[in-house]
Structure 1
Amino acid sequence: MLGFKSFVLAGLLTLGLAEDKFEYDPLSNFRPRNITGLGDFYGWVGSYYNATAELEVKVEYEYMTPKNKLCSKLKNKTTTLKYDAVLSVLERGPWNAGNNSMIFWLTLMPQTSPAYNVSDLPTDFMWNTKRKNISIPIYSNDPTPNGYWRPQKDSSWDLFNFTTTQTSSGAYNMTQSLSRNESDPFSSWQNVTMPVCNSSIVVNEHRFNTPNMVSYLTEDWDDYKDPVVSMQFDDKTANLTLDGVFTAAPFARLNTTELRPAPVLGRSNYVGFYSLKFDGILDAYHSDLLSLKESVPTWQRTVGFGNNTANIGNDQEPVEESAGSVVSGSVLTVMAVALSILTLF
């Protein structure tokens, strides 16, 4: 009987703690979870900026093919692609390891009608393969390391280091070359639409990659360059540019109805330059208040606290900023229920 009692108590307390993990923690950079309609994409303290981003790609050569043999559809041609985009510039959390002043990532979405709703994305949007046509061309830190919603302390290292400076107007600025000797990526692309040389055997959807180190596809290319990111942001606007080298492989056109577990790549591999530009405006509805008075980005927490009429859920019952330092009511309730049940045995 004692073993059964222990089992019941442990199970109920585990349930209570599982519920409690969504309670607000002022020491974390996660926002309160009581905000109706917020969604997981906007779950972090910081600033969010909206824009139409432009990606320019120019193929330089096809791997294992002489450069002068590049087909006319690609030779000396620049393809421009447009995306709806959100730049997330966020406060660091205890799960971040490193010395950068903040974390950031840029999310690209297809331009659709109605507009793509990022609030519907799951918590694991960055690494979930089921996300639809969402690209993250650059991220300085993984928002959900190992897929956990509440990652452990120092569980995710900065993917590259940068220095933030402040302009005379108060805006924060950074420029960094992303030269690394490690294979961990700083980007996650979905398929990119580009022209193809022979549409009878391949489609215009390409597996797109922006490498951060020389690979076998680029090792003999004299014009290879490390990617460079530049960003400037304040409490109203943000701009970001990312320039570097890409590799792309088109998917094969399958003249069959046979179902396959994944698209089949064609035999071609293209290499070239890309340039990504983002000029955004603050999304005040989803953003906390950014102070320009500090040497590093600092936010006053407003989303979920009822102290900024521009915010989502401002008319809801606000969260106490000191919440989370004591055991929550949900856990106490579960403990009481557990003890009541045990008295029956």
Structure 2
Amino acid sequence: MRGFQTAWFLLFGIVITVAATSTGDSPAILNFRPSNVTLSSLYYWVGSYFNGTTHFEFSPYGELAASETGGCPALRNKTITKDYKTLLALTEPSTYNTANDPVNAFLTLWPLGFDFGTLPDEISFEISDSLDYAVYSSDPIFNNYSSKITPNNFIWSLEKTQVPPYNLSSVLTDYRGVLSTQDGADNSLQVNSTIANCSGTEVFSWQFAPLSYNTTYNGTNFANPVMNLQFDGQTANLSMKGYFSAISEYRTESVYQEGSVTFTGEFTMTFAGVIDLYHSDILRNDTATPTWLRTVGYQNNSLNVGYTSGSAGGQLVGPWSLAMIMVLSHVLLFFY
């Protein structure tokens, strides 16, 4: 009987070895991708990556509130829209994140038609001139991180579940982690629009900035924006709803200058995306919190970047592994 138990132990040891073989070098306690795959900084972490489009809708008030008609009546009852090509990275938290953080979310907005493949591998995407806007639940950390804890920019609340899809929500009390790279703006979004200014004689572009309750705009407090996220191994949906302020701007030579027209209103931001299998690890479907099986760089998923059919890593209990189990199990049963 002891020989039988030993044989079965060896059998399952072989299977586990096949599933866990790795050519990567990233420590298990960190969420960085191994160095044996060449990736831009957009795909730096273990997790799921979703490609899609983000749609903004801005509904201006005439002045400070929906009931007021003064200030800028030309904007009243108009809806300004803007779409962006988007990559949403939902990544595994690491030792540098705060405790009980279910997921890191990095939402990056780019011009429609932008090619992510043009981003240099050795340069952080955050400094790209093409990045229009971004929302980070915590600041992106790369391999040169320090050991200190990185604070959350906002706190996720995870709805209780045992399997995906995962539903998360957050109330944004400030706008750390919400930023734009345009013209050095902190958290504003430039929207070029053909909407006229308040006198109706000129055409402006506008800088939109979300408002939180912490912001007092001419004596008016605004409710905090609310963000909702739902995702599984195939799709992701993210939305944010709140209030904004905007200021007109105009271009002088190659520099935008602020104008004199300001207004407020409501905005919604919605993202719908599908999984990028080429850059994503496998999201497990049996855990109460988001958990990933590391595959990118580990040669165990033929759909991933860097996978080679003759690699040392085995597929995750693929056909060869199952065949080996069946053969060895019959041999063991014959002798024992």
TM-score if structure 1 supplies the norm length? 0.72
- Which residue number in structure 2 is paired with residue 323 of structure 1? none
1:166 Cα offset (Å): 4.7
Matched letter for residue 275 of structure 1: T
5+ residue gaps in structure 1?
Answer: 1-21, 321-345
1:84 Cα offset (Å): 1.1
138, 141, 156: which one pairs with 1:162?
156
1:177 Cα offset (Å): 1.8
Matched letter for residue 92 of structure 2: E
CA distance in 2, matches of 1:268, 1:33: 50
Contact 1:202 1:253 in 2 (8 A): no
Judged with a 3 Å threshold, the aligned counterparts in structure 2 of structure 1 residues 104 and 163 are, in CA distance, closer, same or farther, namely: same
Aligned ranges 1:25-44 → 2 under 5 Å:
25-36=27-38, 38-44=39-45
226, 237, 241: which one pairs with 1:228?
226
Contact 1:110 1:134 in 2 (8 A): yes
- Which residue number in structure 2 is paired with residue 47 of structure 1? 48
Deviation digits for residues 5-55 of structure 1, max 9, x if unmatched? xxxxxxxxxxxxxxxxx963332111012313x211101110011112211
Contact 2:284 2:292 in 1 (8 A): yes
- Which residue number in structure 2 is paired with residue 279 of structure 1? 272
Instruction: Indicate the structure with greater strand content.
Output: 2
1:168 Cα offset (Å): 6.7
Judged with a 3 Å threshold, the aligned counterparts in structure 2 of structure 1 residues 203 and 318 are, in CA distance, closer, same or farther, namely: farther
CA distance in 1, matches of 2:225, 2:90: 20
1:211 Cα offset (Å): 3.1
Report the secondary structure of 2:69's partner residue. helix
5+ residue gaps in structure 2?
Answer: 1-23, 183-189, 314-336
Aligned ranges 1:2-13 → 2 under 5 Å:
none
Judged with a 3 Å threshold, the aligned counterparts in structure 2 of structure 1 residues 118 and 160 are, in CA distance, closer, same or farther, namely: farther
Deviation digits for residues 86-122 of structure 1, max 9, x if unmatched? 111000122223431111021111113xx33266166
Contact 2:32 2:143 in 1 (8 A): no
Report the secondary structure of 2:157's partner residue. coil
Identity %: 29
1:132 Cα offset (Å): 2.1
CA distance in 2, matches of 1:274, 1:284: 32
CA distance in 2, matches of 1:119, 1:299: 28
- Which residue number in structure 1 is paired with residue 20 of structure 2? none
Is 1:312 the counterpart of 2:305? The answer is yes
CA distance in 1, matches of 2:273, 2:116: 17
Aligned ranges 1:89-108 → 2 under 5 Å:
89-108=90-109
1:142 Cα offset (Å): 0.3
168, 177, 193: which one pairs with 1:174?
168
- Which residue number in structure 2 is paired with residue 116 of structure 1? 115
Is 1:58 the counterpart of 2:59? The answer is yes
Is 1:86 the counterpart of 2:64? The answer is no
CA distance in 1, matches of 2:200, 2:124: 35
1:196 Cα offset (Å): 3.8
CA distance in 2, matches of 1:207, 1:316: 50
Contact 1:41 1:118 in 2 (8 A): no
- Which residue number in structure 1 is paired with residue 211 of structure 2? 211
1:169 Cα offset (Å): 5.7
Cα RMSD after superposing both structures: 3.0
CA distance in 2, matches of 1:319, 1:103: 31
Contact 1:305 1:318 in 2 (8 A): no
**Between Structure 1 and Structure 2, how many residues are aligned?**
279
- Which residue number in structure 2 is paired with residue 243 of structure 1? 241
Aligned ranges 1:262-341 → 2 under 5 Å:
262-315=255-308
CA distance in 1, matches of 2:61, 2:217: 12
Judged with a 3 Å threshold, the aligned counterparts in structure 2 of structure 1 residues 132 and 241 are, in CA distance, closer, same or farther, namely: same
CA distance in 2, matches of 1:31, 1:133: 22
Judged with a 3 Å threshold, the aligned counterparts in structure 2 of structure 1 residues 252 and 201 are, in CA distance, closer, same or farther, namely: farther
Aligned structure 1 segments of 4 or more residues deviating by more than 6 angstroms: 199-202, 316-320
CA distance in 1, matches of 2:278, 2:295: 10
- Which residue number in structure 1 is paired with residue 177 of structure 2? 186
